Every structure is written in structure tokens, then in C-alpha cells.
Amino acid sequence: MNVKNSSKITIFLMLLCFVFCFSTVADEIPDIESISLNGIWKFKADPNNVGINEKWNLTDFDDSSWEDISVPGTWNEGQNVTIPAWNYDGVGWYRRVIDPPKDWSGENIRLKFMAVYLIADVWLNDTYLGNHKGGYTAFAFDVSKVIDFSKPNILVVRADNTKRPYQIPGASIDWWNCGGITRDVFLEKLPKVYMKKLFIKTPNVSLQKSTVKAEIFLEGDPKLLKNVTIKSEIFYKGKLIASGKGKNPTIIINKPKLWSPDSPNLYDFKVSWNVSDKWVAHYEKFGIRKIETRGTELYLNGKKIWLQGIAIHQDYADMGSAVTDSAIRSDLERIKKLNSNFVRLGHYPFSKKYLDICDEIGLLVWSEIPTWQNSREELASEQMWNEWVKPHLDDMIEQYYNHPSIIFWSVANEISQVWGGAKEHQEIVNYIKRSTDYVRSLDNTRLVSYASAASTGGGTWEYLDVNGKPLHYGWFHSPNVYDIGPEVDKIHNIMPNQPIFAVELCGMSYPDNHKGYSQDERFSVEYHDKLLRVDMQHLMIRKDFVCGVTLWTLANLKGGREKGTYGILDRERKQVKHIYETIKNLYAKDPKLLIIDSKTGYKHGEKMEVDLWTFNRLEKGIKGCKIHWWINGKDGKLAEGDFVTDIKPDSAKKIGTVSWQIPDNTSGFHSLLCTMKDSKGDLLFINDYYFDVDKPEAPGILWVKIVDKDDNPLPDATVEIGGFTRVTDVFGRVPFLLHTGRYEVTAKVKGKMQKSEAEVEIGQTSEITMRF
């Protein structure tokens, strides 16, 4: 037996910081001590599935010829291992040595995997521990009677990521099913009585007083359990504020700090129980918040909320689905920086690390099981329900219950098949009813939904709290993006008292593929940009029954069956499409100025007409706002005008129509630019609309990059060209779409100003850098 174990095994006490932050009891011990089993394991692919017959699972098997692989990780990417192809799906074997501390002898020992994709079989010292189906949730085995303290222990894992029908995800998916041990692995020592489950609920929420209820489930020595005493304490920033007793305490918090995207206040819930002469302590973070619907609107903590968000996959270049902690944080902070208040984690339960950060920075979450486009026959299968669907729901809800960021449980994605709002096949209706009923039996504090494409799903919507809709008009669902408004109106007319939530709005593009805005060429950045502009703004003006919009996706992904170029960033998070600026602008703080168009291509003699709307989620209005608009073409400014309007609280309102008779002496790329200022002249919002006259013509794109003297990017710098001001993104860059010409560029950073000039040529991309 020869298993390389180059990584140091470190023992750490979970939640050690609480010793210093919170009140403790004499002889108090943490509820878990852990050893990380991350690091270098031995690996061998098994495409012919011979491992069992050749006894690769046994202790005395010679694995000296096997290759090293990093855990967590995936064999499909970022590893120097031999597999039949980069997109190999099949069986892979892992082996390593465990050498537990001698003083753990006689204790409760648990082996815990945070995720293995997709099916895991596990052996320790020739003993088969069991099987786990589902590649996105944690599972554990009691190894107290199997682990040996007198010699090295051999741990073996067989992972199988084969795509098959009658499992979730099934035989065909549009993300890559990265195989292997993709999340952390631990060996854990538990006390004689330990925490099995803890559910923290906040059923009554107000700024004056809120109720916290807990359900505490302990497990362990039956004799000790009979005499256990349980205490609960709630802390805010280290200060004890309330307490309770028993397995099901109800605790009142006076003047609570509520959790929301704007104020993501987190409390610490401490459960203590006695084991012999010691006290065991378990800590968990939670937030006080309430999510609900009232008619066609969504409410958080008693206030209306509009969701504007980004969807992501757990996917990154050179990592696959085994995304590092720093990359997870970077992605979520980028999303938050775009002024998003929501993230769709699709289409499966993400690593708990994502949820911890969403809790911390204030991002609302849609969490879903990977029932993705499964067939009617699969959805009706009792075997699939019992082996895959129900366990996925159990795992997701139990493991992620206490995360305040999660407001939606989703039971499926795009399984519905009947268009036009007509009733779905009965197998699909039955699945949605059964799964949503089951979710509510586990958790009645959150909203339940699923993603039903476009107008599909009739007959299932009545079982949903919110009608989750991927709306891909102009791409998957119809050739015309402008169908989105009338089609959403039809859905609303069928279910007039239910909120509609656009959980996917997408196109695909390659960063260097530029065409005219009227060309509607798939995979061009301009068509991708047009789709998102139309989708988002045509839905925003329907805020009376549409409760939010979601961009699909933050970054390109390695697709299973599609090209996967949905992102506003590339997969490496290095290259930015100018669509990033569109989303950043439309997601900027309210009030917003929206441009509602019906086409982007015009002929000489036609009128270019677009409607201007204001969109305001604020509880206060603004009087005397001035909107100035102007149209630019190849000869500079061609027309301009103004509107004055009052913006009402919580409203979407049409304020006027920009109408321009197109002359015969202009052609190609044009832009309509708009600014909205308050009565004092302070800028509230900008917006733009791009169109072609007579012929399609790709715009000139000027990227302005603002850096410091060491070339570090400077986000939030203001850049002005031709009276139009934008703000740099997290990369210190901002794009302007322009005609051929020489332009003065003015940049400001923290009170300092610089001017420069840039040449732009129509149809070309250029960049200038300004240093501060």
C-alpha cells in the first residue's frame, strides 16, 4: 500500500472565536472538532468500470501507479490526471491514508463529505460505509467502530458522474457535470450527545418586536439524552440579548435588527447542553426577516421589494465546479457591486460558502434542486422520487434552513412542455403539486416555485407562491424579442393575482463579434445587449405584477450541450462585454429612466419613436425632474429635447415620447442619449438607446480605463464624453459607444480631474488608459 499524503493534516476547533466573543460556561467544549482531509489523494479513472472486480476498494490494493489529484477538485478541469477526454463522464476512484489523533479513540467519529459528484460509494478499511446520490449536498458516515487507532486507515471513494435518465440531473444538461470530490472533506469528533439538526424560524417580524423559534434535535447516548438540559442564547455582535430553554424555545427579541439586502444584520444562536460534567456549545448564524407575497407583489419585512439580480453557475476556468473560496467571494461581491439584491443559484444547491457570503453581504437567494428538463415519464417515476427528488429536497432544506438569504425553494427548472398557458401534461402537474406540497411540509417560512419556460406551465402555477419564468424571447422562445411584453401580459391575465418573476433573461455572444443593433445576429454582442435592454425595461414598466428580473448569467460557463457564452464576463473573469455597463446602469439606484422601444432599425422618411418611462421603488417621490435627450449620428448631434415630470413614489409611469423624423442625409449607427436630473440639477440617472438608419452598422466602442500610478484599477471613477457621464466598474473600465471621431475624455477620481483625447472609428474597438 502506497498512498501519498503530502498535505498537512491540521486539527482545528470549530468556532474557536466564540471563546473570546461570547459568554462561556466553565468546562464548555465545542460540539465538533475537525480534521481536514483536503489535499493530495491518489486517483484513477475507471472508464470500463472494472474497479470493483479488481478490488480497488480494498486496503491491500497496490495504488502506486495511480496519479495525484487535489481534493476538493474535479477530474474534468484543473488537474493533471489521465482521463479519456476532458469531458469524461464515468467512474473515478480516490484513495488516501487517514491517521486520526490517538486521543480520539473511543469517541464518536464521523466522516463528512460536503459534496461528491454525482454518486458516491465509500469504503474505510475494507468496510463499505454506504452510498450517496446527489452531487451538490453534504453527507456523512459514522466511522466510530471502523476507524483504527493502531495503524494507518485507508479511505476509498468511488465517484460516478455518468449522465443517465431517471436521476437528477438527468441524461442531458447545459452545464458541465464535473466529476469527483468537488467540496471539502472532514473527519470529525463529536461529543457523546451532539447536535443533529437545528431549525431557527422567525415567524413574527416587526421593528418593535420579533419572535424567534427554534427546533433542536440532539442525538447520541440514550442514557445521557434522558437527562440533558438545553439552553439557548442569542447574541448580536457578541452581546447577549435574549435566551430560552428546552428543545423548542420561543424567544422574543425587542427592537430587533432585521436582515435585508440593505442591512444584512446577523445574529448568533448558541445552543448549550450538558454531557456528564461538561457543557457542549453549538453556534449558528441567522437573520430575522420575513418574506411573503401580497397579491401580485413581493414583501420583505413588511415592505415591497423589487428583485434585480444575476444568475450564476458554480463554475470557473481551471476549477470547474470546485470553485475556491476567494473566487466565490469575488463573484458574489461583483454581483452586489452591480447593485443587485438577488442571486439565482442555478440549477442545484451551491456550496454553503456561497450562502454564508450572501448572508453576510445581503443577497437574496433562489435555491433549486437539479430536476432539469426531465421527461414526463421520469417525473412520474416513484423510483426517481424516492431515490433522487425527495432526498435532494430533504438535504437542501435541512442543510440550508438557517440562511436568511434564501427566500425561494425551487423544485425544478424547465420541465413544463405545453405552450400558451394551456394545461400541462398531468405527470408534470402531479410532480409540481407533490414537490411543492412536500417542500411546504418541511419549511413554511419561504416561498416555493419552479422555473417554467415562457408561457409553459399552465395548471402548475396555482401551486406556486411566485411564477418563476425564464423569458428568452428573441432567443429560445421566439425570434422576436419584443414578444416579451404581450406574452407576459397573457400569463398575468391567466393568473391575475400572482407575482411573475423573470428568473432568466439571456442571450449569448462572443466579446469580439460586433454587428449593427438592427442586424439581430445571434452571438453578436450588440444583439445580446439589445435582448437584455428590451427584456429588462419592458418588464420593469410592468412592476405592478412583475416582481423582479434576473440576468442569465454573470460569466460564461463550460456548457454540457450549449456554447455557454451567456455571461457579461468571460469564464476567466478577465474580459468584459459592454453589456456589463448596460446591466450596471439598469440596476443603478432608483429612480430610473427607462427607454421603451419597438425596433432598432429604421428607413429614411420614417419616424424614430420611443417612449420614456420613470421607474421608482422608493417610498418618496421627486418633483420637477428634468429629462434631456439628444440624438447623435455620424454628423454629431442631430436632434434634442426636454421633458419635465414629477416622479411618484413606488411607481412606473410613462412621461412622454421621443419622436424624430429621420432625414435622408443620415445613415448607419445612431444613439439616443438621455439624462434625468432633479430640480437642483443633480444627476439622477442616464440611459441610452442604439439604432440603425438604412443599414446595420457596428458602433465604435471606446473603453476608458482608469488606474493608479501602479496600474491598479480604480472603480467608481467618473468618465464624461460629450455630456454623457459613466462610472468605471470593478475592473476600472467603462465603455462608450460612439461614431467615428476624435473625442475629449474627462475623468474624475476623488476630486482630481484629468482630460485626454481618443480616436474612435466606427465598427472598431479601442481603449485608452488614464493614470491618477
Neighbour-count burial for 370-393, b at 16+ CB within 10 Å, e otherwise:
bbbbbbbebbebeebbebbbebbb
Q: Confidence class of residue 73 from pLDDT cuts 50, 70 and 90?
A: very high
pTM of the model: 0.95
The pLDDT value recorded for residue 277 is: 85
Give the mean pLDDT of 198-223: 97
What is the radius of gyration, based on Cα positions, of the chain?
A: 28
Q: Decide if 2 is inside a domain.
A: no
Task: Please indicate, yes or no, whether residues 128 and 247 belong to a single structural domain of this protein.
Answer: no
Length of the chain measured in residues: 772
Identify whether 6 is part of a domain.
no
The pLDDT assigned to 652 comes to: 97
pLDDT tens, position by position, 350-372 = 999 999 999 999 999 999 999 99
| Domain match, 608 and 677 both | yes
pLDDT at residue 71 is higher than 50: yes
The predicted structure's pLDDT at residue 562 = 67
pLDDT tens digits, 252-295: 999 999 999 999 999 999 999 998 889 999 999 999 999 999 99
Cell of 379: 417525473
DSSP states along 548-594: EEEEE-SB----SSS-----SB-TTS--B-THHHHHHHHTSSSSEEE
What is the number of domains present in the chain?
A: 5
Instruction: Read off the pLDDT of residues 106-153 as tens digits, 9 standing for 90 and up.
Output: 999 999 999 999 999 999 999 999 999 999 999 999 999 999 999 999
322 and 455 fall within a common domain? yes
Residue 5 within any structural domain of the chain = no
CATH number of the domain that residue 254 is part of: 2.60.40.10
pLDDT for residue 5 is more than 60: no
Claim to verify: residue 677 and residue 771 sit in the same structural domain = no
Q: Say which DSSP state 164 is in.
A: -
Q: Give the residue, 2 or 666, on which the prediction is more confident.
A: 666
pLDDT at 458: 96
The answer to whether residues 158 and 45 touch, using CB atoms and an 8 Å cutoff, is no
User: Do 382 and 475 lie in a common domain?
Assistant: yes
Asked if pLDDT for residue 21 goes beyond 50, the answer is no
Residue 698 has pLDDT above 50, yes or no: yes
State phi, psi for 488 to the nearest 5 degrees: -65, -35
Listing from the earlier edge strand, what are the strands of the sheet with 741-749?
724-727, 718-721, 741-749, 752-760
Instruction: Say if CB 432 and CB 461 are below 8 A apart.
Output: no
pLDDT score at 560: 65
Torsion angles phi and psi, residue 694, rounded to 5: 75, -40
Cell of 158: 468511488
Does residue 492 contact residue 545 with C-beta atoms inside 8 Å?
A: yes
For residue 337, how far is the Cα from the chain centroid?
14
Residue 291 inside a domain? The answer is: no
Is the pLDDT at 624 greater than 70? The verdict is yes
* Separation of alpha carbons 290 and 568, rounded Å: 32
Whole-number Å distance between alpha carbons of 588 and 582: 10
Dist CA 343 CA 449 (whole Å): 15
Summarize the confidence of residues 433-447 as an average pLDDT. Answer: 99
Q: Do 544 and 595 belong to one domain?
A: no
pLDDT interval class at 702 (50, 70, 90): very high
pLDDT at position 7 is 37
**296: in domain:** no
Q: Point out the domain boundary residue: 157, 190, 223.
A: 190
Is pLDDT of 95 > 90? yes
pLDDT of residue 563: 75
What is the phi/psi pair of residue 555, to 5°? -135, 155
Is residue 583 situated within a structural domain? yes
The pLDDT > 90 percentage for the chain reads 94
Q: Which domain holds residue 142?
A: 11-190
> How would you list the strands of the sheet with 239-245, edge to edge?
28-30, 278-286, 267-275, 230-236, 239-245
pLDDT for position 561? 63
- pLDDT recorded at residue 29: 86
Claim to verify: residue 268 and residue 313 sit in the same structural domain:
no
With respect to residue 718, please indicate whether it lies within any of the assigned structural domains: yes
Mean pLDDT across the stretch 596-601?
98
Residue 238, pLDDT score: 97
CB-based contacts of 293, cutoff 8 Å, min separation 6? 299, 447, 465, 466, 498, 499
Beta strands 546-552 and 307-312 are: parallel
Regarding whether 263 and 232 lie in a shared domain, the answer is yes
**358 contacts 403 by C-beta, under 8 angstroms:** yes
The residue ranges of DSSP E strands in 125-208, in sequence order, are: 127-133, 139-142, 153-160, 185-190, 193-204
Same domain for 601 and 630, yes or no, is: yes
Q: What CATH number did the domain enclosing 509 receive?
A: 3.20.20.80
Please check whether residues 175 and 54 belong to one and the same domain.
yes
Residue after which a domain boundary falls, among 588, 605, 630: 588
pLDDT tier at 24, thresholds 50, 70, 90: very low
Q: What is the mean pLDDT of residues 403-409?
A: 99
d(CA 287, CA 270): 14
- Cβ atoms of residues 67 and 108 within 8 Å: no
pLDDT band (50, 70, 90) for residue 559: confident
Q: Could you tell me if residue 693 is inside a domain?
A: yes
Give pLDDT tens digits for 630-643.
Answer: 999 999 999 999 99
Cell of 470: 425564464
- For residue 145, what are the contacts with CB-CB under 8 A and spacing of at least 6? none
**Cell 460564461, located at residue:** 556
